[in-house]
Structure formats: structure tokens, C-alpha cells
A and B are shown apart, each in its own frame.
Chain A
Amino acid sequence: MTSGTFLGIPRRHRHEESPLRGETSFPKAAKTALANDQLRRNLKHATGTIRAKRALVVNEMPDWEQLRDAGAAVKTDVMARMPELLEQFEAKVIERGGVVHWAADAAEANAIVTELVRAQGVSEVIKVKSMATQEIGLNEYLEEQGIAAVETDLAELIVQLGHDKPSHILVPAIHRNRTEVRDIFLSEMTGVVEGLTDEPKQLAMAARSYLRAKFLSAKVAISGTNFGIAETGTVGVVESEGNGRMCVTLPETLITVMGIEKLLPRFEDLEVFLQLLPRSSTGERMNPYTSLWTGVTPGDGPQNFHIVLLDNGRTNALADQVGRAALHCIRCSACLNVCPVYERTGGHAYGSVYPGPIGAVLTPQLTGITGHDDPSASLPYASSLCGACYDVCPVKIPIPDLLVELRARAVDADRSRTIPGGWDAAMRAAAWVMSDAKRFAAVEKTLAVGRLVAGPDKLISTLPPPGSAWTRTRDMPAPPKQTFRQWWKESHPEGSIARSADPADTEQKDGHR
């Protein structure tokens, strides 16, 4: 954030169809999601559970803040030295028998992967859950080319079999409950046992037997990566189920797609990120499995290793101070799980494969914004700016600050308009009221009316327009009995507080009036 670069949100000329960009604006999509009670219940349960788990394992770390500082500093270093670190990483991978490819955009990455798969003469590949491959729409592209990509992560499999879209970075099927999962398995999975119940254990075992044959016979696997270490050329995948280990170990050929920001400079840096990531992400002290490999190891694991280094908008983001800060993201999804907006709307409302608070920053940076009608343009407003996302971010990305900055830019871009919008009018009215103590006190008195409307449960569930826009999808707590100013007057009688003795201070205050 100390960088002097400031080029504005990267602009592109037309909307490109991309898994990064939604089809509708956030408010419109959110309205549909908010009306779905089942979705809201599933989300509330899931985010609540994971928030509690995370808090437990973070609170037991006496050096958590120091780890966050280290993580943030490592990522700042990565951004500043990206060219030399990428070249170092490339040289090390090649030295160890790997092949390095560079892809400027999604189309190029998809073409490279497809060629590599074709070269092995197969029509089916197994996949480890990967945000990078989702971002480029790899599965859909491969399907068009006649290659089936089988997702092996349980949640991704649920999404894939359900002909659905992921709604969370870490738990893509977070919006589905057990009954929905059973129904999907029964209708879409071959060889599923009769009488399958909706017990998570049974469902997991059904996935195990469905995928086992594929793991044992697959010739080609495709993965993303959590880290690419410049110093050694080492690549790592962090997971729980063992499907990741199956993919990066058993096939002869492994193709890994890595966003260029996934670098870590030193092997030693793993000691920071292997602590920050699992605790922030799944709320575990360590995820059950981590695989780290460097190029090709004779006699152990895939003997053909290809890595595709992906730009796809990242260099756009890097050129911008907001974008660069967002590129620090290690995709732990902690910010999604604490976000009151995400908890109510779910991930689909954001339209992008990167939902939630970080998605609201990252998505417009990666896609660029073509104008007001671009769905990405609405994302910086998909936040209450409560700050919870910053508190949990393991690499201290100041997400609320970034969202405010993006909103400010949108307002700046609108300054030339001659007709004021509703937002301008509301802000001017608020400014008029709040700039005068008498006017403010008068408005406060009307709050008593709110208490009458609320009734005994202290909740307002229906308001006339324009308040109905709020109460249609949520309840509003009744105003307090007393305003802060009334309470202050009562508990601090005139003259009970010493006036400031510093004349300069008084002068400055007066100067503001």
C-alpha cells in the first residue's frame, strides 16, 4: 500500500465471458439468494461452525500476530521481486526435470493443458480442486475438446455431479445440505449402493468407491498449487481427503496450473504459511495431508511434470495499489466465513469464482471494469465494511480499506454527472442533518416512533417504502430507548466535565464549525 503506483481500476473494452465475471449485478443476484430460506440456513450453519473452529485454533497460538506480520511481509516481498523470483522458480523446476509453460490469459492456459493431455493420448483426466483452473474454465474447455475432467475433491464432485457452480473457495458445496447431496449422488453417480442414506460418512464412502478405480488407472492428473517456492522449485498441495495425494502421486503425468502470485521466495517461508493457512482455512492445526514435490523424482510419483504459470489479469492487478494488495491472498477463505454479507447471500451472488470480501476486491481487479453495467462494478458495494474480514486475514490484507478505495474511485468517476443519483441525495440530506446539533437532536426524537412500531419482540419486520427495501429480506432491531446524547446529558450534568484547557484545541474545534 506504500507503493506509488495508482493507475485506477484496470479498464477493458468489452465484457469477456469468464468464470471470473458474473452475469448480473450483486444486488440483483443477492435479492434472489436472500429469498432462498434453505440456502440461508445451510450457510448460517456452515459459516458458524467454521468460525468457531478457526477461533479455537487461532487463539491457542501465542505468536499468531507475529506470524501474520511475517506472512504479510513475505507477500510484499513476492510482489516487489516477482520477475526475478519467477525466473528463479522456472530455472529450478527445469533443473529438476520439470517443464515450464507461460500463459498470458485463460485461453492460452487452456490450450496448453489440452495439448499436454492430448499428447498422452487419454480422454479422461483426474483433477485436484483448484481455483486457478476454475478461474480459466478449464473443465468446460476440456469437455468441448472431448476430454472428461473428473473432480476428485468431495465438494467439487458434488458440484460437478449436481451441474452446479461452486459457492465457496474452500467448501464449494457449502450451500448444499446432506439430503441434497444424497439426491445428487443417487441420480448422477454410477454404481452407487442402494439404500444410500444422507449420513455424511456413507456419502463420503460412496465417493471413495466411485473414485478409487479412476485414481488407480488415471494416466494424467491436473492440479493447482498452494505454493511455488522460488529458491528450490518446490510445489505444494494442501488438502484433507487424500484425493490430492492420489492425483499428484499415482499418474505418470502431472500438469499443475499456478497463478504467478503463488510464489514464496524461500523454503523457510513454508514455516509461516503452513501455520497460517490451515488454521485460517479449515480451522485445523494442520490439514491431514500436504504434498510437496520438486520437478521429477526418479522412481517416485509422476515422471512427466508440467507447470503452467498463469497471468490472466494478475499483472493488471499488480499495477494497481488495490490489486497488488489483493494479490497477497492465499485463498484460505477465512474472510468469507466471517462476512455478514456472504453469510446471507452465499457465494453465487458474487458471480465470480472468487466470492466474499476478497472476491469483491480481487474480481474487479482481475477482470477490469468496462463501465457501470459491468457486474464486477457492483462488487465493492457487497460489504458492510464491518472489518471482520481484515481481523481474520492471515496475511493482513486491509480488505475494508480496499473496498472503500474502490467505491471512492467509482464516485470520482461519476463526478461529471449533472443529474444527482439517489445516493447523492441521501448523502446530502444526511450531511445537512448531521452538520447542525439542533437538527440532529430533532431527528433523534423521532426514533421513539420506531420503538412503537417494533412491538414487544423489539424487531421491526415490515416498514413502508423506502424502508421496505430493508425489511423485505431482514428484520430491523428497534432503536434504543435513549439516544447517546440523551444518556450523556443525564449522566453528565452541566459543568461536571472540565473544559479543554488547551486554547489551540478549542480554536481548532471552533474553526471546524
Chain B
Amino acid sequence: MSSREVVLGRIRAALAADTDAPPPVPRDYVRVGADAPGTEPVLEQMIDRLVDYKAIVDRVPAGEAAALGDAVAAALSKAGARSVVVPSDLPADLVDASGRDERVVVADGRPSVLTPTELDGVDAVVTTAQVAIAISGTIVLDGKAGQGRRAISLVPDFHLIVLHADQVVSTVPEAIARLDPIAPLTMIAGPSATSDIELERVEGVHGPRTLHVLIVG
């Protein structure tokens, strides 16, 4: 008998005496927040949570492409980034802004990807995101357009995320409903951190030591 059959057989035997169906799962917790995605209270909460997690947050007015480009370039320059990796399908205006101040821009994705060691030699990464959760200050990347492979937002030390106001939802359930379960998902709440030594929080261990978020709108 295979171990699969052994284990499943033991489980069936363990459950044999039970005939009652399990009760339904009560879902009367808060599923949808009081405020709609992208509204001012939701954005304010998102910013509050991100700052609490030691992320840097800037707001850029919607519909002003030049202002967004300036903010991207300024954030990268301020971080001292000399090179930056971008997903090959990042919007062209963000790629252009990333390359200002004589920064080297490397595209990752089709046709070629960087090795982990090559990524380690790059100072920063710029991506967009899929959805963000205000109540917990979490940003979710799902690898779709503008977000890149999981590796590129992990190895460089500085991560700049461009987030659009309507992507910011209030609750965790609202965000889960917007996700594709099959996509490789990365949820990010602040920069890498540890509390393993005397529970004193230290920002920046293995992931990017700085997270900078630009909220458009």
C-alpha cells in the first residue's frame, strides 16, 4: 500500500464515527469597508499604516504625467541609485523617468531575465502593483503587467512602487476578491524587518531595506 493510501485510510478511519456535517462558516466579519476604494479616508489610512511600517510615502496628483515622472526620478536620486531594474512591460513614462540623472536602466522579462547575482548588482527596482490594503498597509504584486518576476522586487535594496489611488481598498477581503489565485503573489507591508533579537524591530534584513511608495491621485 502506498503512503498516500495509508494516510488517507487513517484519516477516513479517524473520521468514521462522525456523521454530522460541519456547521457553515459564519462570514459576518467586516468584508467591505465603510469607504470606497481610493477615497480620501482610505488613502489616509493606507499612508498612516505605511509610515508606521517605516516606508516612505509621497502623493502625486492624478493626471499629471510630468509630476509622476519627476517624483520617480527624485525618489531614485534621493536614494542614491545609480542603476535600476524595471519589468520589461513597465509603462514607458516610468521607464524614462527611471533613467534620468544618467541612471542605468535594465529591463527584466522577455526576452531575457537577470540572474540573482546580476540583480544583486542593481541598486533599485521600480514596479507597479495589483492592489493595496489600507487597514494593514499592505501592497500586493501579482506578476502581471508592470510588476515583474518575484525576484526583481526582492534582491535590489531599494523598491519604488507606483500605486494608483483606485487600487487602494479598505479591507483584506476586498483585496482578496481582486486577486488571481493562480498568479505568484507577493504581499508587502513595509520594508524587510526582523524582531528576533529581544523583539526590537530592525528594518531591513534580506529584502529591500527601503520601500518607497508613490500614490497617484
Interface, chain A (partner B; CB < 8 A): 2-5, 42, 45-46, 49-50, 62-63, 66-67, 69-70, 73-74, 76-77, 79-83, 86-87, 96, 102-104, 108, 152-155, 158, 171, 173-174, 176-178, 181, 200-201, 203-205, 207-208, 211-212, 215-217, 229, 231-232, 234, 240-243, 245-246, 249-250, 260, 267-272, 274-275, 278, 282, 284-294, 297, 299-301, 309, 311, 315, 318-319
Report the bound CA distance from A240 to B30 in whole Å.
Answer: 26
A245→B83 CA distance, assembly (Å): 22
Q: Are B117 and A102 in contact (CB under 8 A)?
A: no
13 intermolecular pairs with C-beta atoms under 8 Å apart: A5-B17, A49-B199, A102-B4, A200-B198, A204-B205, A215-B116, A260-B7, A267-B181, A271-B176, A288-B192, A289-B186, A315-B11, A318-B15
B-chain residues with CB within 8 Å of residue A288 when the two chains form the complex: 53, 188-193, 207
Residues of B close to A171: CB separation below 8 A: 195-196, 199
Which chain A positions have C-beta within 8 A of B22?
Answer: 73, 76-77, 79-81
Minimum CB–CB distance from A115 to chain B (whole Å) comes to 14
Residue of A nearest to B185 (CB): A292
Closest to A53 in B: B199
Minimum CB–CB distance from A511 to chain B (whole Å) comes to 36
Residues A242 and B192 in contact, CB atoms below 8 Å apart = yes
**Closest CB in chain B relative to A67 CB, distance in Å:** 5
Contacts A245-B186, A270-B176 hold; do A200 and B200 have CB atoms under 8 A apart?
Answer: yes
Of B137, B143, B176, which is within 8 A of A286 by CB?
A: B137
How many angstroms from the CA of A485 to the CA of B101 in the assembled complex? Answer: 82
Q: Which of these, A50, A73, A285, contacts B26 with CB under 8 Å?
A: A73
Contacts of A299 in B (CB 8 A): 109, 113, 149
CA distance A173 to B27 in the complex (A): 37
A171→B135 CA distance, assembly (Å): 25
Q: Are A50 and B199 CB-contacts (below 8 A) given A63-B29, A204-B204, A246-B154? A: yes
In the bound complex, residues from chain B placing their C-beta under 8 Å from that of A154 are 194, 196-197, 205
- Nearest CB in chain B: distance from A259 CB, A: 11
Query: Would you call A46 and B207 a contact (CB within 8 A)?
Result: no
Q: How many residues of B contact A (CB 8 A)?
A: 76
Cα A261 to Cα B181 with chains together (Å): 21
Is B56 at the interface (CB under 8 A from chain A)? Answer: no
Residues from chain B with a CB closer than 8 A to the CB of A3 are 17-18, 20
Q: How far is the CA of A378 from the CA of B83 in the complex (A)?
A: 60
Interface of B is mostly: loop
Contact assessment for B26 and A70 in the assembled complex, using a CB-CB cutoff below 8 Å = yes
Also in contact, A301 and B184, with CB within 8 A (given A240-B193, A241-B205): yes
Instruction: Indicate if the CB atoms of B150 and A300 lie closer than 8 Å.
Output: yes
Q: Which of B7, B143, B188 contacts A104 (CB 8 A)?
A: B7
For B17, list chain A residues within 8 Å (CB): 3-5
How far is A319 from B7 in the complex, measured between Cα atoms in Å? Answer: 13
Closest residue of B by beta carbon distance from A181: B197
Our pick among B13, B23, B190, B206 for the contact of A243 (Cβ within 8 Å) is B206
Within 8 A of A (CB), among B135-181: 135-138, 143, 149-151, 154-155, 172-173, 175-177, 179, 181
Q: Quick check: is B49 within 8 A (CB to CB) of the other chain? A: yes
A319 surroundings in chain B (CB, below 8 A): 13-14
Do A70 and B186 contact each other (CB < 8 Å), given the known contacts A82-B15, A83-B8, A240-B192? Answer: no
- When chains A and B are docked, how far (Å) is the Cα of A246 from the Cα of B192? 12
Indicate whether A207 sits within 8 Å of B181 (C-beta atoms), given known contacts A83-B15, A245-B186, A311-B10: no
